Structure 1
Amino acid sequence: MTTRVDGGVDSGVVRAARLDATGVRGPGLPDAPAVVDALLAVQGQELQPALWGLSRRVAPSSRPGRAALNAALADGELLRTHVLRPTWHLVRPRDARWLLELSAPRVERLMASTERSWDLGDLGPGTDAVAAAVADGPRTRTQIRAELVARGVLDPDAPGLAFTQMLMHAELQRLVISGPPPAGRELQHQSYAAFDDRVPAGYGPLGERFDADAAVVELWRRYLPGRGFATLNDLRLWADVTVRDLRPALAALTDGGEVVQVPGAGELEGLTLVATAATADRWLGGGDPAPGDDDGTAPVADLLQAYDELLMSYRETRHVVLDPALPPPDRAGAYVHSLAVDGIVAGRWRWPAGRTALDVQWLRDPTPAERAALDVAVADLGTYLD
């Protein structure tokens, strides 16, 4: 099988492939856990908007509402923890252990720098106390903090960051992970449960034992199908894995014909993009035609959560979904979420509070057809929230 495609791939094809691969377009998947399976990990510090993003990737005939998504978290079908980078991600239970084993050492080194700058001292003893606090069942952050203070592990006047760092260390050491919310409350009221109570034994696709080299190969195998075309640096910055570790795994997958490497064209010239063989065959090999930016169809508007994988899965090539004439998303203030039209960011919006109308700020003047497309997206969000 060909392992390198000589013809270049431009931003229009890359954007269309990404819309399809990340699930923003296409028929959708059976349910939200299947979406997270397909994407491996979904950034989720803005939790309720992140769940909305999952819902949009489910087939319309079975698309879940907000209550169903929160139930999936409460039941442990989806888990939320700090993994890959020092930020929240949604993952499937079978992937939690190997992803944490792979990424925790680097995340903890980054956290150590923060702790030194804040002069937080040794937070190590706190992790055992966190584990003890959830030994008899899930506990909220408030309950865990009170337990740590009672044990003398945490000074009652300590800055909130000290407690947060203790919790993160306990997550990274695979002692705790997200638990069900208090009765009747959504998961913005974060709770924690014992890790082994929510995560199956073993290392998921790696088997019973963890192997670092195999984990990096698996990372490539799981990242690429859900991302379309991406560069090595896109994955490096998404997963915070070194180039030194990523290159051998990429070479092995390329030599085996599982992935192809394609030169960029146009504004992507000078870059090498990587895709699965199936993705390359589809978009470059005479399969389904790649739609152009102006194919005569009505525009489609997407209310993307601030950290949607269409935006966050790429760093080196994120610009393919940005309009160079507009300011990039800055996630400043309340308007942290992005409005995209035909896959290109054209505005920003804030999550509605209560029954208030959705507040959208266009970054340019929309056409009447684009306003109509936004109305459709807003109606879909209303249905989800209700």
Structure 2
Amino acid sequence: MTHQEISHHRLVSQKLYKTSPFSPQEIVQHLGAMQAQDYAMAKWAIGSRTDATEKEIEEVINSGKIIRTHILRPTWHFVAAEDIYWMLDLSAPQVKRFTNSAGKKYGYDSKKFDEANAFIEKLLSGNNHLTRDEIMQELNIKKASNDDFLSAAIMMNAELDGLVCNGKMKGKQITYALLEERVSKPKTKLSKEESLAKLAQRYFESHGPATLLDFSWWSGFPPTICKSVINAIELQLSSITIDNQQYWFKQDHTDADNFRESVHFLPAFDEILISYKTREAAILQEHQSKAFTNNGIFKPVIMENGKVIGTWKRTIKKDHAKIETQFFNETETDKKQLIFKGIQSFENYLETKIVIE
């Protein structure tokens, strides 16, 4: 394996070649956690790895087989229902530092957060799914001018405490529901060491080849802890050193026979970019500012043979979806037509006509 081949291997490990059929929940469980603050794009992150339509993925999320909540880093992720409790037990204490800090600005300490939790539990009990605005109205918390940070901190704290998660969509509005009414608590709990080992192995098998610092960034745990857990599971992984940098990946990782010419129109915040500390394997340094910003805003990208060659955006119309593209380099019309064949899976996913402009 060479440094230039890393991105190809990641396409395999992240199931973007779609060599076998997987259900939406199987894709989420395979990847461990998929960043999901942009809900529409996060659904396509699943869709780009399966043959499921957007409606089918929405049904799986509404059913509670896939949970959307704050976990790992302080942002939303999709997590499989089977993983939600052990992953929350592991990562919630570190993420709660952010909610505790935000709460202090509004006079919220642990006691006030607990009081809010108790009220929210009564409010949502009996499979009562409510939007954040509806919950805040009952808590008598009015929207503030500074982006409503207090309500966000209250609900994130409730998520991290394992009280709430996403409920069923109410039209186009996201709701909250009680987690235990959606997913039953397991009878046994993993130790922190067991959970860390499980998380690390899941990451390297689904995102590898990846480095210690990649795992540290993705998991939110400091490099010292990540180094210890890699040492504990290294016999279950394979590794290769390239340019004095060690990359870890699954033991039975398939070789170049799996590679093929490919074009992918991938969503904003897709794991293929956001789950690594550095992204040079997939996108040239000179183009990175066109695909993501320093403050963490990622655009939808076009990948050809494992390399990002441009960005795209979609606008949903009444009877079609409009796709606009921006390539990093001048691209011939004939080649564009070949590249645009890569949008076919998005058309199938949306179940509507695609118009490219």
- TM-score norm. by structure 2 comes to 0.88
Q: Distance in 1 between matches of 2:333 and 2:145?
A: 54
Q: What is the alpha-carbon distance in structure 2 between the residues aligned to residue 66 and residue 110 of structure 1?
A: 32
In the alignment, the residues of structure 2 paired with residue 334 and residue 166 of structure 1 have an alpha-carbon distance, to the nearest angstrom, of: 24
- What are the within-5 Å matches in structure 2 for residues 193-208 of structure 1? 193-202=177-186, 208=188
- Aligned to 1:274, which of 240, 248, 266? 248
Provide the residue aligned with 1:302 in structure 2.
264
Matched residue, 1:107 = 95
Q: What amino acid is the match of 2:122?
A: A
- Secondary structure at 2:133 match in 1: helix
Does residue 1:211 correspond to 2:173, yes or no? no
Conservation of the 8 A alpha-carbon contact between 1:79 and 1:90: yes
C-alpha spacing 1:128/1:190, structure 2 compared with 1 (3 Å): same
Q: Tell me, what secondary structure is at the counterpart of 1:352? A: strand
Verify: 1:371 aligned to 2:351, yes or no: no
Is 1:54 matched up with 2:46?
yes
Name the aligned partner's letter for residue 272 of structure 1.
Answer: Q
Decide which of 109, 125, 129 is 1:135's aligned counterpart: 125
Alpha-carbon distance, 1:196 to partner: 0.5
Secondary structure at the counterpart of residue 89 of structure 1: strand
Cα drift, residue 290 of structure 1: 6.8
Equivalent residue for 2:165? 177
Amino acid in structure 1 at the alignment position of 2:241: P
Q: Which amino acid aligns with 1:374?
A: I
Is contact 1:130–1:144 with CA below 8 Å preserved after alignment? yes
Counterpart residue type for residue 37 of structure 1: Q
Deviations 1:328-369 (A, max 9, x none): 412599982111121111111223232352111112112445
Q: TM-score, normalised by structure 1?
A: 0.82
- Aligned with 1:323 (options 266, 284, 287): 284
Equivalent in 143, 146, 156 of residue 168 of structure 1: 156
Change (3 A) 1:247 1:197: same
Mapped pair 1:350 → 2:313: yes
Asked if the contact 1:263–1:272 (Cα under 8 Å) also holds between the matched residues in 2, the reply is yes
Q: Which amino acid aligns with 1:313?
A: S
| Number of positions where the alignment pairs a residue of Structure 1 with one of Structure 2 | 342
Give 1:258's match in structure 2, choosing from 218, 236, 242: 236
Structure 1 residue 23 corresponds to structure 2 residue 15: yes
Task: Say yes or no: does 1:81 pair with 2:46.
Answer: no
Residues 108 and 169, structure 1, Cα contact 8 Å, conserved in 2: yes
By percentage of residues, which structure has more strand? 2
Instruction: Give 2:280's aligned amino acid.
Output: H
Letter in 2 for 1:263: T
Q: Supply the distance in 2 between the matched residues of 1:56 and 1:156 (Cα, whole angstroms).
A: 36
Distance change in 2, residues 1:369/1:40 (3 Å): farther
Q: Is the 8 A contact 2:67 2:79 kept in 1?
A: yes
Q: Which amino acid aligns with 1:363?
A: F
Asked whether the 8 Å contact 1:120–1:162 carries over to 2, the reply is no
Gaps of 5+ in 1: 1-8, 292-296
Letter in structure 2 aligned against 1:348: T
Shift in Å, 1:324: 3.4
- In structure 2, the residue matched to 1:5 is none
Deviation readout 1:65-114 (Å, 9 max, x if unpaired): 11111111111111100000111100111101111111111111123334
Task: Assess, with a 3 A threshold, how the Cα gap between structure 1 residues 98 and 308 changes in structure 2: closer, same or farther.
Answer: same
Rate the CA distance shift 1:100–1:335 in 2: closer, same or farther, 3 A: closer
1:51–1:66 CA contact under 8 A, matched in 2:
yes
Rounded to whole Å, the distance in 2 between the matches of 1:10 and 1:27 is: 23
Q: In 2, distance between residues paired with 1:308 and 1:39? A: 11
Aligned residue type for 1:351: R
Distance 1:272 1:305, change over 3 A: same
Native 8 Å contact 2:132 2:176 kept in 1: yes
Equivalent residues of 2:132, 2:151 under 8 A apart: no
| SS of the residue 2:139 aligns to | helix
Shift of 1:158: 7.6
SS at structure 2 position matched to 1:319: coil
Contact 2:92 2:160 in 1 (8 A): yes
Please tell me the residue identity of whatever aligns with 1:79: I
In the aligned structure 2, how far is the partner of 1:127 from the partner of 1:158?
24
Summarize deviations over 1:193-237 as a string: whole Å, max 9, x none: 1110112222xxxx7023101100101121111112111110111
What amino acid does structure 2 have at the position aligned with 1:315?
Answer: K
Q: 1:327, 1:259 → 2: CA distance? A: 30
1:382 corresponds to: 347
Q: 1:84 to 1:334 in 2, by over 3 A?
A: closer
Letter aligned with residue 276 of structure 1: K
Percent identity for Structure 1 against Structure 2: 22
Superposition map of 1:30-69 within 5 A: 30-58=22-50, 63-69=51-57
**CA RMSD, Structure 1 to Structure 2 (Å):** 2.3
Contact 1:28 1:57 in 2 (8 A): no
